[in-house]
Amino acid sequence: MKNYALITGASEGIGKALALECARQGWSVLLVALPNEKLEQAALEIHQLFPTVQVATLGIDLTLTTAPRAVYEWVVKNDFKVNVLINNAGVGYAGVFEEYATPEFFDVLINLNIRATTQLTRLLLPVLRKQPKSYILNVSSLGAFQPVPYQTVYGGTKAFVYYFSRSLREELRGTGVSVSVVCPGGTNTNEVNRARNQDLKPLAKLSISEPAYVAAVAVRGLLRGQEVIVPGRMNRWVLFLSAFVPMRVRIRMAGGALKPRGSYGIQYAGKLEDRRIGEWED
């Protein structure tokens, strides 16, 4: 009987890297992402690299309020034995809160980063409990540990994911369902994000990782039952040292490092939009 790992936002970036890493572990994979050619390309790549691994895809926009239940019904209808749930799908931005985007955009961001993660976890938890051992991995951010100027709403959503994950882990202690949260620093998830990362100050650039590295560290930590996973020695060192720096100073330092300096064309939800500063997908 095949066990499945379900990964959201699995068509590129960290999500695709996590799907590849799960396949490397021998799990069959369920790829959930926006319905476009990148999703099918990711499925084909996994099948070619790991021919014995079963791959299924569901193209869906997780910002829609009906989407989490549709994912759940797809799992139940096909009797997929899911024992790994990875909530990775997310969108970020870099810009001045009042000037950058419309209220509607922030609704999309909150729906994807918070609501989809919460609803999918709640709906699929009974499925996970049916397996002798199951795992939940939620993708947060290094920005969850402090306020993040110029990523105000994004940082807030990732702080939610961090605290949600740790609280749920305690509730599920002893049930056979292990919950972990991974908190990457800056990651080159796509060309937009890579360009944005190039505009960071030199010290901030030292924390940038590639998706494959983040995924390998995350899955290794997941299997070890690690509660909080922070990929990258530099990121762990910065996190340790930050405990000795007053919060006001940390906020100003973050604002100085993350203040946007570029303009990018961004790809989100299947259409190309022009903004002074780019969004990126996790």
Strands 264-268, 177-182: pairing kind: unpaired
**Which tokens is 50 given?**
């790991």
b/e per residue, 146-169, with b = 16+ CB within 10 A?
bbbbbbbbbbbbbbbbbebbbebb
Active site residue 150: no
As a residue count, the chain comes to 282
**Which tokens is 106 given?**
């922030």
**Which tokens is 21 given?**
């890493």
> What is the H or E stretch that residue 65 is in?
none
Residues 6+ apart with CB under 8 A from 125: 177
Strands 280-281, 91-92: pairing kind: antiparallel
What is the chain's Cα-based Rg?
18
Q: Give Cα separations from 35 to 61, 93, 108 (angstroms).
A: 7, 22, 17
CA 118 to chain CA mean position, Å: 13
Catalytic residue among 100, 150, 154, 264: 154
Q: Measured on CA atoms in the order 149, 150, 156, 159, is the torsion positive or negative?
A: negative
- Contact by Cβ (8 Å): 182, 214: yes
**Which tokens is 138 given?**
């939620």
Give the separation between CA 93 and CA 138, rounded to whole angstroms: 19
What's the DSSP call for residue 57? E
Which residues carry out catalysis? 154
